[in-house]
Amino acid sequence: MESTSPGYAITIRVDGPPSAQPVAEITAAITAAGASITALDVVESQIDRVVVDVSCDAHDSDHAQRITAAIAQNPLLTVRKVSDRTFLLHLGGKIEVTSKVPLKTRDDLSRAYTPGVARISQAIAADKEDARRLTIKRNTVAVVTDGSAVLGLGNIGPEAALPVMEGKAALFKRFADVDAWPVCLDTQDVDEIVRTVQIIAPVYGGINLEDISAPRCFEVERRLRELLDIPVFHDDQHGTAIVVLAALQNALKLVKKNIADVKIIMSGAGAAGTAVARLLVASGARNIIGFDKDGVVREAKSDDDIMRKWFVDNCNPGDFNGSISDAMNGADVFIGVSAPNVLKEADVASMAAGSIVFALANPDPEIDPSIARKYAAVVATGRSDHPNQINNVLAFPGIFRGLLDGHIHKITDQMLVAAANAISDCVSSEQLNANFIIPSVFDPRVVTNVAAAVRAAAPKN
C-alpha cells in the first residue's frame, strides 16, 4: 500500500448531531479511505451538534480530496472547512531576520548605527579581513539557484524555487546555526549567474549552489571557485555524493564486501550521478557502469561537458555495451539518482548475493522499495517514510559549519570523503543493521563530527 506523508497533511472541520456519533463516523470514513489520522479534537459540543477537527496524512493531493469527499458523503455530517497544513506552514514564508543586539535607547542606536557604525566601516575599509570579524559574513551563506532543476519538479523558475530555498535556509539554522539566505536569480545564463554571485559575494562566508540544471551547474561551480576567495559548494552534487558514500560504506560493512571489489551500477549521470561516481572512485571504487536516459555511458561526444567526459574516462572499465537489465545481472550495488521505475523486479532478483539497492529518485524511486527488499540485503531511498533515507541534510550543515569556522577558502575531494567518513562513523557496529545504515538527521553528533572532519582535512596553509 502507498505510504501516507505529513507533506500532504490536512485538517478537516466537520459538524454533525451527537446522535449520529460524528467522531466514530469521521474516523471510520478516513480509515476506510486509507489515510492516517494524526489528531482529533472536539472543538465545540452543544445539545444539537458536535464540531470536530480531524487531522490526517494523505498520499497526495488527490487522495486528500477523496478523504474529504468520503466524509461529505455522510448526509448527517457537514464538512465546514479543509486546511492544507503544508500551505498553512508556508504562509508568510519560513524564515526571518532578527536583530542580535538591543535597540531600546539612543545609546543603542548610536553604537549599532550612526555615528558609531562609521568607525566599523572605516576599520573594514582599512582591512577587508575585518569584515569576517565585525559583520555577519563570518556565519552567512548564500543559497543560490536559478530555479532550473528544483527537486523533481524541473525548470519551474526562481519564484517557485523560493519555498525550497527558504527551507534550505531554515535547515542551515536548525542544524548548524548558520545564517543562510535564499538568492533566487531570474536568469539561466551562466555568465549572468556567475557575475551576479561574484558581485554579491562580499556579504557571504560561503556559497551554496542549489537546483541548477546540468551541465550548466558544473561550469557555474568551476568558475565561481576560480573567482571567489570563499568556498563554493553545489549541494545537489557534493551533498548527495557525501551521504551516498557514507551509507554505502556502512552497507558494505554489513554485507562484508569491499568497495574496490564490487560491481556498481548507476542510473543517472547528471550533476548528482557524476559527483557520486567521482567520490566513489576517490574512495577506491574500480567498477562503475553508468546509465542515463540514452543508455550506457561509454562514449564521449565532442560537445560533452568536462564532467561527462570524466564519467566516460573513469567508469565502465570493461567497456560494457548493453542494457541496464543486462548490467544488473551479478551486480553488487545499484545507485539510482534518476527517474521512477527504471528497474524491474527481475533486475534486482538477478543481482549478486548480499546486494545493495539505493533507489534515490524522489518522490518515486527507481523501483518500489518493498519489491527491492525481497531480494536485496540493504535498501535505501530518498524518502522520509522508508528506512535508510539518503538525505543531504546530513552533510551540508556540517560542511558549512566546518568551512566557516575554519575560514576555509576552497573545497577538496579529500574534505568530502572525510565528511562521508564522519557521517558513517556516527553509526556504531552495535547499531548497524539493514534498516539503519545512516544516522538520523537529528543526531547532534553529525554536524559536530562533520565540521571537525572538514577542518582537519583542509589543506594547511
* Residue numbers annotated as active site: 113, 168
Q: Which residues does residue 381 pair with via DSSP β-bridges, in sequence order?
A: 359, 389
Integer CA distances (angstroms), 259 to 249, 284, 332, in order: 8, 6, 10
CA distance linking residue 356 with residue 456, whole number of Å: 31
Residue (of 395, 82, 121) closest to 237 by Cα position:
395
Q: Quote the distance between the C-alpha of residue 440 and its chain's center.
A: 14
- 206 touches 232 (CB < 8 A): yes
Q: Is the peptide bond before 215 cis (omega within 30 degrees of 0)?
A: yes
CB contact set of 385 (below 8 Å; sequence gap of 6+): 3, 4, 5
Q: Quote the distance between the C-alpha of residue 81 and its chain's center.
A: 33
Residue type for position 70: A
CA distance linking residue 175 with residue 182, whole number of Å: 17
CA distance linking residue 146 with residue 85, whole number of Å: 27
- 354 touches 255 (CB < 8 A): yes
In degrees, rounded to 5, the angle at the alpha carbon of residue 73 between the alpha carbons of residues 1 and 24 is 70
CA distance linking residue 161 with residue 19, whole number of Å: 49
CA distance linking residue 99 with residue 388, whole number of Å: 39
Residue (of 3, 52, 1) closest to 28 by Cα position:
52
- 230 touches 405 (CB < 8 A): no
